[in-house]
Amino acid sequence: MSGAGGKWRFGDAPLEETRRFASVARRVASLLLQMEAPSAEAAALTAALEDAEAKLAAQAPGDPRPRVGDAADGAGRVYLDHSRDIGLYNPAFPLYEMEVDGDRATGTVCFPLLYEGPPGIVHGGFLALLFDQIIQHHNCDVGQAGKTTRLEVRYAAPTPLLETLRFEVERGVDDGRIVSTARLFHGEKLCSEATLRAVAGDLAALPAVSTRRTP
């Protein structure tokens, strides 16, 4: 499915409570990672989540497969749009802000404690995730995206947590192949850079995807 202005969209929008949970879960997880001693509040929170887990499991589809393609009319789950801003509903993905201007995009990101690897440093795997995410967001916004075939990341310097970082993305298309280069900076220092190659897809050829069902 597509959105306005030629932007690519594929999947349904998240529920508002899903978005709220992602925001709270990211903040609370970062707080729990800082605890110096057992906490009654943390224990009560875990118990409440365990209770909610059992109740939510009874409401969720029994089939965890997404309703996409041949399974669009099946009994599986709704597939949420992954073209952009995934972190707004999934706390496993980082949050960022980005502006797109044709084949160039710029933005900022700040990694909370949840994404720590070495002390005070962002885990390199999350940096690779960020690059894949912002580059494909860029592709979807300009209306020409496709499947990733290769992602190469070079780590130039440690990337600090809890700091505003800036990034820039540039893309080009050659013989049906999209090639994007992205760089992440802390101030003027280059922290890491990535090159992503993707096969340019056809929006009309995307498989069917089911929208959310009314209870």
CATH code for position 72: 3.10.129.10
Residue 17: partners with Cβ closer than 8 Å, 6 or more residues away: none
- Determine the Cα–Cα distance for residues 33 and 24; give it in Å rounded to an integer: 14
The answer to the question of residue 79 being in a domain is yes
The answer to the question of residue 43 being in a domain is yes
The answer to the question of residue 215 being in a domain is no
Q: What's the pLDDT score for residue 90?
A: 97
The answer to the question of residue 213 being in a domain is no
Residue 100: partners with Cβ closer than 8 Å, 6 or more residues away: 138, 141, 142
The answer to the question of residue 37 being in a domain is yes
Per-residue pLDDT reduced to its tens digit, 74-98: 999 999 999 999 999 999 999 999 9
Per-residue pLDDT reduced to its tens digit, 95-147: 999 999 999 999 999 999 999 999 999 999 999 999 999 999 999 999 888 88
The answer to the question of residue 99 being in a domain is yes
Structural domain span for residue 186 = 4-205
Structural domain count of the chain: 1
The answer to the question of residue 39 being in a domain is yes
- Determine the Cα–Cα distance for residues 185 and 83; give it in Å rounded to an integer: 24
**% of the chain with per-residue pLDDT over 70:** 97
Which is higher by pLDDT, 137 or 214? 137
The answer to the question of residue 214 being in a domain is no
